Structure 1
Amino acid sequence: MTDETMTGETTGVDAVDAPMTNDQPAVDGADARGGADATADVPATANTDDDTATAAGADADAPHVEPLTATYERLRHSTDAAELHEFARRPLPDRGEQAAFSRATALLEAVAGNPHTPEEDRVFLASTMPFPNVLVKLSEDASPAVREAVAANADDKNWLVGRLTKDGIPAVRDEALRNKRTSWKMRLEGAQDPDMDVDTLDFLSRLGAELEPDANVVLSSMVRRAVALNPNASQEILERLSTDSSDEVVHAARRRLAQ
């Protein structure tokens, strides 16, 4: 009894002690895991700090871009001819860079409308730019040379060049009437203008014949007939029109020659 009891007690003690013994490593394992987690957290925090520092550095390195409205107003009122010249001659961004391209063309409008922009730069813009917003500004320029350059621009809208056919300066009107974008209505009105100069009448008298041979037959002959009836048409013009392909033009020219 004593041995079995003692053996049983010993076994009981072992049975009770065993879970306690097994629990201890579990606690140690949890501590170990906690330590591992804590250790793992350190580089994560460090990475976050590094990313923040990198982003801050990138922001610091990024160039400051002045808002479009602020730049537009500054250029519109600028008296710095050198700055305005630089903007006028600056190459445009590629059209594929839509935001940059739109910004550049908007700023050109401000430069074009500023009378402090050197005249040669305004003439340059009037001659080379295809943008209606820029050309409209330049079509109202105080300088006849600038308006004349707009009138000759092949990228004009027909309503814009048509407006310039009514300009107060003959050279501007002449260039506008010579522009292929000018409507036949405007050309007809030019041919009927009793103040039109001989050189422009000569040009109009050739439309649909030597010049623009593929032009609308009816409209071009109406313009040539109006030239024949214009009191400023020269003898040479009338003699040439007296052999025109259009009977109406021929009759008008011969009637004038007979006077």
Structure 2
Amino acid sequence: MTNENESNIEKNAQPAPQSDTAETKAGETSHEEAVKNFEPLTVAYERLRHSTDSAELSEFARRPLPDRSNQAAFSRATALLEAVAGNRHTPVADRVFLATTMPFPNVLVKLSEDPDASVRQAVAANEDDKNWLVGRLTKDPVPQVRDHALRNKRTSWKMRLEGAQDPTADAETLDFLGSLGTEIEEGAPAVLASMVRRAVALNPNTSAQMLEKLANDPSEEVRNALAQR
């Protein structure tokens, strides 16, 4: 009886083999489903680029990016955001969100060509822009877009000078440009900043308040330009 009882105890103590088998099969099934549902990057890009599902596009636009440490997933997500940004079925609010928050040139270039001026304006104000992209937006047909681009710290001095010479520039933007090198960006190159302020002094849209400031400008060139006016 003792031997028989010990044999029964040993049998009961052994783990059931079928549970491990079930877990293994579940893992294999999950992996197979993941592989089956995976979209190659080019396929996913084209699907999102031509999608008319605004809800899906909106969700993707607002989805947090993968951690940069996962380089493959991060690169894939930023590439697909380009497709979402360029799709006109992506809601305008989401395109503005991307234009405001994204630092990626491929996404911002798409958004800089958006037919909605509010999207281009958000790109123009994005300080993660490349200077050539901001420079392009200083020539935008919509004044508000041009103004935001000219006030962007990424804008080149050449673009700032051309903006200060623009007879369609508004007084607010000219107030900004007329303060460069004195009240704003005090460490700016003196000659370049003086050239911009001189152009502001000659611009017919410059406010009376800014003209008063320029009358006492530290640069003789600026003061002489104001006298010529």
TM-score with structure 2 setting the length: 0.86
Greater C-alpha Rg: 1
Structure 1 CA distance for aligned equivalents of residues 189 and 114 of structure 2: 33
Structure 2 counterparts to residues 53-68 of structure 1, below 5 A: 54=24, 58-62=27-31, 63=34, 64-68=37-41
- Detail structure 1 runs of 4+ shifted over 3 Å in the superposition: 56-59
Contact 1:239 1:253 in 2 (8 A): no
Task: Give unmatched runs, 5+ long, in structure 2.
Answer: 1-19
More helix by share: 1
Structure 1 CA distance for aligned equivalents of residues 91 and 160 of structure 2: 32
1:181 aligns with 2:154: yes
* Offset at residue 58 of structure 1 (A): 4.0
Aligned to 1:238: 211
Structure 2 counterparts to residues 1-20 of structure 1, below 5 A: none
Structure 2 CA distance for aligned equivalents of residues 230 and 159 of structure 1: 25
Aligned to 1:35: none
Task: Give unmatched runs, 5+ long, in structure 1.
Answer: 1-49
Aligned to 2:220: 247
Contact 1:81 1:116 in 2 (8 A): yes
Secondary structure at 1:79's aligned position in 2? coil
Percent sequence identity over matched residues?
71
Contact 1:166 1:173 in 2 (8 A): yes
Count of aligned pairs between the two proteins = 205
Structure 1 CA distance for aligned equivalents of residues 206 and 155 of structure 2: 21
Residues 59 and 66 (structure 1), Cα distance of their counterparts in 2 relative to 1, 3 Å cut: farther
Secondary structure at 2:146's aligned position in 1? helix
Deviations 1:219-240, CA, capped at 9 Å, x for gaps: 1111000111112222222221
* Offset at residue 175 of structure 1 (A): 0.1
* Offset at residue 198 of structure 1 (A): 1.2
Secondary structure at 2:38's aligned position in 1? coil
Deviations 1:196-233, CA, capped at 9 Å, x for gaps: 11111111000111111111111111100011111222
TM-score with structure 1 setting the length: 0.76
